[in-house]
């Protein structure tokens, strides 16, 4: 049978190497989460059974990528692996110039420093933690211009990552185009629940920004997942290969920041890609200050080779279908169990709606933080808070940001877990949902200055 007549489908790979995991007792988990200050980022990985903290840098590499690791050219300058990477980025993303970086936030750092002046505004389709922080550290102010549906966990809009063009244009008119260095466009939108932006919307953003002479920079970490959603949902693209859609998406932008720890299937790496030679020259100047020479940017040659090969694998239609398909499988299990999740199901993760789990908790009692802890206590499944703790504080007023979305993210590493793991996760979420009524909130006992969700500590109220 070929793939068109097959009734069921499976991952387009088989497993060659395994890594043992173990489940601890409830008493051991109670001790571990207490020692971790009720923050899943502070748990030891050895104390975790199924690790859905993040899909970032947690992928399983292929034999093709591992073989490439053996071909690392560790020359300080001009490594051949850099040229392979450059070729892969040009071929699959279409940008002219690249500087490698050790991961995504390093590309954000360099871009923010070369493009943003104090007093500038950076509009974007919802904030991401590190992206916004680098924009703020460079003196910019992030402005959310995503459509309202993105802030509603129950909306089933197929492209909740879309930019609201009226919001964008009124910002341009209010502050003037000269104070907008670029539009920061994410594909897919992590904080909205892994939601895609449509090609029609990207095209419209391009037309609008062209009229005002404003650049568009793509956060391409999960752009392949976005391209897959376009293929599935946008009229006219059902027969178009994901790789072709990806090129069209990038064609509406002037460059990208990339965390290659996502779509490109590597455990470390990233890059900044640009079309403008002058901006690229500035990036090359700064890269040697903060990352390393412009042909390695904080990476080993072997890392760049694995990335070049991962980029090529990621756009394979069967691979991306299996990747998003696994996330969808988990999401559908949770919908069947009536657990409240963000709809539509995201590309890299399923997001639990903590407000609907724990309506008895106020947002500053950290419902999502508590929900992530409860899930760990129930089964050893590790997830991540994506609500008030992640949103941090307003740098002007010092008050908490109070995001509408108070979520727990179950992020699925690529090519790592099986359907049975997903079943275990779904059963555990259903159990935690059954026990929701008696749950009380948390108090923050330690708050770091930057990106507090990583290292903050909590204790249970009452
Ligand atoms: O973790 P980095 O520095 O390689 O990349 C930062 C970064 C940028 N953009 C987006 C959309 C991200 O999701 C992202 C990192 N995400 C992490 C670590 C995550 O768990 O989602």
Q: What's the pLDDT score for residue 462?
A: 81
Shared-domain flag, residues 309 and 321 = no
Total domains in the chain come to: 2
Instruction: Reply yes or no on whether the pLDDT at 113 is more than 90.
Output: yes
**Cα distance between residue 148 and residue 138, in whole Å:** 27
Tell me how far the alpha carbon of residue 42 lies from the centroid of ligand 1, in angstroms. 18
Residue 213's CB is within 10 A of a number of other CB atoms, namely 9
**Cα distance between residue 69 and residue 62, in whole Å:** 11
Contact indicator for 163, 125 with CB cutoff of 8 Å: yes
pLDDT band at 2 (very low <50, low <70, confident <90, very high): low
Minimum CA distance residue for ligand 1 atom 18 = 56
Q: Which two tokens stand for residue 9?
A: 């489908």
**Cα distance between residue 181 and residue 112, in whole Å:** 9
- Identify the domain boundary among 279, 314, 349: 314
- Identify the domain boundary among 283, 314, 345: 314
Q: What's the pLDDT score for residue 4?
A: 61
Shared-domain flag, residues 231 and 337 = no
Instruction: Reply yes or no on whether the pLDDT at 5 is more than 90.
Output: no
The ligand 1 site (C-beta within 6 Å) comprises: 54, 56, 103-105, 128, 130-131, 186, 190, 219, 221, 259, 261, 270
pLDDT band at 219 (very low <50, low <70, confident <90, very high): very high
Q: At 273, give phi and psi (nearest 5°).
A: -120, 140
Say which CATH number the domain at 194 has: 3.40.640.10
Among 76, 402, 450, 454, the one annotated catalytic: 76
| Residue bearing tokens 């391409």 | 220
Shared-domain flag, residues 244 and 321 = no
The answer as to whether 368 is a domain residue is: yes
Lowest mean pLDDT among 1-15, 206-220, 221-235, 378-392: 1-15
**Cα distance between residue 209 and residue 165, in whole Å:** 10
Tell me how far the alpha carbon of residue 437 lies from the centroid of ligand 1, in angstroms. 33
The answer as to whether 278 is a domain residue is: yes
Shared-domain flag, residues 239 and 349 = no
Residue 262 bears catalytic tag: yes
- How far the first Cα of the chain sits from its last, in Å, is 60
The answer as to whether 404 is a domain residue is: yes
Q: What's the pLDDT score for residue 8?
A: 82
Shared-domain flag, residues 242 and 98 = yes
Say which CATH number the domain at 383 has: 3.90.1150.10
Shared-domain flag, residues 118 and 100 = yes
The answer as to whether 11 is a domain residue is: no
pLDDT band at 9 (very low <50, low <70, confident <90, very high): confident
Residue 41 bears catalytic tag: no
Average pLDDT over residues 193-216: 98
Average pLDDT over residues 420-438: 98
Lowest mean pLDDT among 6-10, 133-137, 281-285, 383-387: 6-10
Q: Give the chain's radius of gyration (CA, Å).
A: 21
- Identify the domain boundary among 314, 329, 357: 314
Average pLDDT over residues 419-430: 98
Whether the predicted model's global pTM rises above the 0.85 cut: yes
**Cα distance between residue 242 and residue 426, in whole Å:** 29
Shared-domain flag, residues 112 and 239 = yes
Tell me how far the alpha carbon of residue 358 lies from the centroid of ligand 1, in angstroms. 27
Contact indicator for 271, 258 with CB cutoff of 8 Å: yes
- The pLDDT tens digits for 159-199 are 999 999 999 999 999 999 999 999 999 999 999 999 999 99
Average pLDDT over residues 76-97: 98
Shared-domain flag, residues 201 and 105 = yes
pLDDT band at 131 (very low <50, low <70, confident <90, very high): very high
Contact indicator for 220, 253 with CB cutoff of 8 Å: no
Mean pLDDT of the chain: 97
Tell me how far the alpha carbon of residue 211 lies from the centroid of ligand 1, in angstroms. 31
Among 82, 229, 237, 453, the one annotated catalytic: 453
The answer as to whether 412 is a domain residue is: yes
Among 54, 129, 141, 209, the one annotated catalytic: 129
Packing angle between helix 80-92 and helix 242-251, nearest 10 degrees?
90
Strand 384-386: give its sheet, edge to edge. Answer: 349-353, 407-411, 384-386
The answer as to whether 82 is a domain residue is: yes
Average pLDDT over residues 53-70: 98
Give the three-class secondary structure for 442.
strand
The answer as to whether 300 is a domain residue is: yes
Instruction: Reply yes or no on whether the pLDDT at 127 is more than 70.
Output: yes
Packing angle between helix 301-314 and helix 317-336, nearest 10 degrees?
70
Residues 6+ away with beta carbon under 8 Å from 194? 188, 222, 225, 327, 345, 346, 347, 348, 349, 351
Shared-domain flag, residues 69 and 32 = no
Helix extents (H) in 337-366? 354-357
Q: Which two tokens stand for residue 160?
A: 């909740």
Minimum CA distance residue for ligand 1 atom 1 = 104
Shared-domain flag, residues 154 and 288 = yes
Q: What's the pLDDT score for residue 3?
A: 55
Cross-strand pairs, 272: 99, 257
Shared-domain flag, residues 293 and 329 = no
Average pLDDT over residues 96-112: 98
- The pLDDT tens digits for 246-258 are 999 999 999 999 9
Q: At 398, give phi and psi (nearest 5°).
A: 75, 0
- The pLDDT tens digits for 366-377 are 999 999 999 999
Q: Which two tokens stand for residue 371?
A: 């929900």
Q: What's the pLDDT score for residue 426?
A: 98
Range of the domain at 117: 63-314
Residue 386 bears catalytic tag: yes
Residue 454 bears catalytic tag: no
Helix/strand/coil (H, E, C) string of 41-108? HHCCHHHCCEECCCCCCCCCCCHHHHHHHCCCCCCCCCCHHHHHHHHHHHHHCCCCEEEEECCHHHHH
Shared-domain flag, residues 306 and 428 = no
Residue 76 bears catalytic tag: yes
Cross-strand pairs, 98: 273
Tell me how far the alpha carbon of residue 438 lies from the centroid of ligand 1, in angstroms. 34
The answer as to whether 18 is a domain residue is: no
């Amino acid at each position: 049978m070929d793939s068109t007549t097959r009734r069921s489908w499976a991952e387009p790979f088989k497993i060659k190497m395994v890594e043992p995991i173990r489940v601890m007792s409830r008493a051991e988990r109670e001790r571990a989460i207490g020692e971790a200050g009720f923050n899943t980022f502070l748990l030891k990985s050895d104390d975790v059974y199924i690790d859905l903290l993040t899909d970032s840098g947690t992928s399983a590499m292929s034999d093709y990528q591992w073989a490439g690791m053996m071909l690392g050219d560790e020359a300080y300058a001009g490594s051949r692996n850099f040229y392979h990477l450059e070729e892969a980025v040009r071929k699959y993303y279409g940008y002219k110039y690249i500087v490698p970086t050790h991961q995504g936030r390093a590309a954000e750092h360099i871009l923010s420093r070369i493009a943003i002046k104090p007093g500038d505004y950076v509009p974007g389709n919802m904030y991401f933690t590190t992206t916004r922080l680098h924009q703020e550290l460079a003196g910019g102010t992030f402005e959310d211009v995503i459509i309202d549906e993105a802030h509603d966990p129950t909306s089933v809009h197929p492209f909740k990552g879309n930019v609201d063009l009226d919001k964008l244009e009124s910002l341009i008119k209010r502050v003037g185009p000269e104070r907008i260095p670029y539009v920061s466009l994410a594909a897919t939108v992590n904080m909205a629940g892994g939601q895609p932006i449509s090609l029609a919307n990207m095209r419209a953003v391009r037309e609008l920004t062209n009229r005002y002479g404003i650049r568009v920079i793509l956060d391409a970490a999960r752009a392949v997942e976005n391209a897959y959603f376009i293929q599935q949902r946008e009229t006219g693209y059902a027969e178009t290969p994901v790789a072709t859609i990806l090129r069209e998406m990038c064609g509406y932008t002037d460059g990208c920041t990339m965390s290659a720890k996502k779509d490109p299937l590597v455990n470390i790496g990233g890059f900044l890609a640009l079309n403008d030679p002058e901006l690229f020259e500035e990036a090359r100047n700064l890269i040697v200050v903060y990352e390393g020479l412009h042909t390695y940017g904080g990476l080993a040659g072997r890392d760049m080779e694995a990335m070049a090969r991962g980029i090529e694998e990621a756009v394979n239609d069967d691979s991306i279908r299996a990747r998003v398909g696994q996330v969808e499988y988990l999401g559908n299990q949770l919908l069947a169990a009536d657990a409240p999740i963000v709809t539509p199901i995201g590309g890299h993760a399923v997001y639990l709606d903590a407000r609907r789990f724990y309506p008895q908790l106020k947002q500053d009692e950290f419902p999502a933080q508590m929900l992530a802890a409860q899930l760990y206590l129930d089964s050893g499944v590790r997830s991540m808070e994506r609500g008030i703790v992640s949103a941090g504080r307003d740098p002007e007023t010092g008050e908490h940001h109070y995001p509408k979305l108070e979520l727990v993210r179950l992020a699925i590493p690529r090519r790592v877990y099986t359907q049975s793991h997903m079943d275990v996760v779904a059963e555990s979420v259903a159990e935690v949902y059954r026990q929701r009524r008696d749950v009380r909130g948390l108090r923050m006992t330690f708050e770091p200055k930057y990106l507090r969700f990583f290292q903050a500590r909590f204790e249970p109220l009452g």
